[in-house]
Amino acid sequence: MNNCWFITGTDTNVGKTIVGSLLLKYAKKLGYQTVGYKPVSSGVKKIYEKFKNNDAMTLQKFSSIKLKYEEINPFCFREQAAPHILSAKNNINISFKKLSLGLSELKRQSNWILIEGAGGWYTPLSNKNTYADWVLQEKIPVILVVGIKLGCINHAILTNHAILKYNLHFSGWIANNIFPKKKFHKENILTLKKYLQAPFLGEIPYFKNIKKIYNYDLSLILPQ
């Protein structure tokens, strides 16, 4: 039996990769054969003559199953922009079939999979389909990362309603403190707990040194 989740965010740069990596580390600790899947990425760095996306490499690093980069990230665009724009510019079709075939192969080799989306819930993959449409096709449970900042309540409520609209299982949400705590932080968290119709999985503290966050132990916050 495979445990498989799709992780989305209230926006871009809210910590999906961080949360995904910590979940992979936690699942590995529990004894699962884990793998992170970043089907579509944009923005790369050159590593030994090959162009790779940093988020995809991070998920690959925290996966217990060691796979080729292309298996982790089948669609990798060099520029940083919305996937459907880069798809059209480079004449590369982001096909649901290829995304699903990649996922099927990962399910064959592992029993715990974390899929990271791009941007937010409705990120377009083409002029006809969004990431959400593929998640619906695969019927993948969803975890939401809420980057705690001004405006996150509205974004989180909108995303909450969008996920539930697809009749997918909303497995829970995680608050990620991407900035130091400010006035009314407690009130913001309480408001999110009231409006989001999914379990609150925990709150990740702010780290001034972003690299140190990957050493954080999620068992400190996740429900036991």
31-48 residue pLDDT tens? 999 999 999 999 998 877
Q: What is the pLDDT of residue 2?
A: 63
Cα–Cα dist 195/48, whole Å? 47
Assigned token pair, 90: 């480079």
Domain at 3-220: CATH code: 3.40.50.300
Confidence tier at 221 by pLDDT (50, 70, 90): confident
Cα–Cα dist 201/88, whole Å? 38
Give the start-to-end residue ranges of the domains of the chain: 3-220
Q: How many CA atoms, within 13 angstroms, populate the side-chain half-sphere of residue 196?
A: 29
The pTM of this model reads 0.94
68-107 residue pLDDT tens? 999 999 999 999 999 999 999 999 999 999 999 999 999 9
Q: What angle do CA 74, 124, 171 make, to 5 degrees?
A: 80
Instruction: Give catalytic residue positions.
Output: 38
Which residue has 């913001």 as its token pair?
Answer: 188
